[in-house]
Amino acid sequence: MKLATIRERLQIGRIFGRESPQIQEPAHRDREAEVRALLAHPPFGITGISDAAFPLYDQALTHRSYIGNEYPVAAVGDNERLEFLGNYVLDFVIANHLYSEYDLPPGEMNRRLQVTRNTKLAEIVLQRGLGIDRVIRRRGQALTDSIIADAFEALIGAIYLDRGLDAVREVILTIFEDEIAECDGRRNYRGRLQECVARENLGELEYAFSQTGPGSCPVWTARVTVGGIPLGEGKGRTKQGAAMLAAKEALKRLGKE
């Protein structure tokens, strides 16, 4: 085959995403343990990842700067394609949930989707302690909000490809529990309790948390006090969910629910 013909076929293959598959070398043992530990921890709860599926997750947490500086060529690609997919999966799951569960006008639903902007995603990753920021592979590149957000979306894409829509929906709705609850003033018990306490000058509002069960499947207990008086307790798979139930009970005791 002529050299020009070979070059032409390679170019066509790149355009349509049909490059010759690269051999995927096993991830370094420490790296693999690190990624698996991250995924096993709530709110992901992804365990039993097959050897064939693991490179997806490894790739999701690999920034392009790492690939560009790796010599010899890195065993996995960067996370840009997975980030593209994860972005749309994330928006779809939240949009579908808002449409199904809340009677909101289109403009309001669109405003609620702004929670998936890069700066907000990075804030959620850091505030929730998801740990994604600690396992992003990169070289010569500062860890920015954009890099954290892209890795988060890429991880969503990897979970979708490996485990399917139901599994990724559960992960997303758990992570965005607080933001989703704010869509319905009646169900945003924490917000309502805070407003009630401030409006009626009831004293300091405090939440205390405790955890039981294995690390991969914890049960959180939240207790809320107002002015030093215990008013509510709730249990849930996440701290946010437990706190929401505790606030709901407190509102009932205050005659506001």
Task: Please say whether the beta carbons of 112 and 104 come within 8 A.
Answer: yes
- Residue 137 near residue 71, CB atoms below 8 Å: no
Residues 6 or more apart whose CB falls under 8 angstroms from that of 180 comprise 94, 97, 98, 173
Tell me the two tokens of residue 149: 């957000």
Higher pLDDT residue, 126 or 74?
A: 126
Output DSSP code: residue 72: S
119-148 tens-digit pLDDT: 789 999 998 889 999 999 999 889 999 999
Set out the domains of the chain in order of their start, with CATH numbers.
23-181 (1.10.1520.10), 189-253 (3.30.160.20)
Return the number of other C-beta atoms located less than 10 Å from residue 79's C-beta. 30
* pLDDT tens per residue across span 18-43: 333 333 344 567 999 999 999 998 88
The most distant pair of C-alpha atoms in the chain lies apart, rounded to whole Å, by 84
Query: What is the pairing mode between strands 219-226 and 205-212?
Result: antiparallel
Give the pLDDT band of residue 48 (cuts 50, 70, 90): very high
First-to-final CA distance of the chain? 78
Asked whether residue 199 carries a pLDDT value surpassing 90, the answer given is yes
pTM over 0.75: no
Look at residue 180 in the predicted model and tell me its pLDDT.
77
Please report which residue ranges of the chain form alpha helices under DSSP H: 3-15, 29-40, 54-60, 64-69, 80-101, 106-112, 118-127, 145-163, 165-175, 177-181, 189-199, 239-253
CB atoms near residue 32 (< 10 Å): 17
Helix (H, G, I), strand (E, B) or coil at 50: coil
The mean of the pLDDT values for the chain is 81
- The residues, ordered by sequence, that sit 6+ positions from 79 with a Cβ below 8 Å of its Cβ are 59, 60, 61, 62, 63, 64, 150, 151, 154
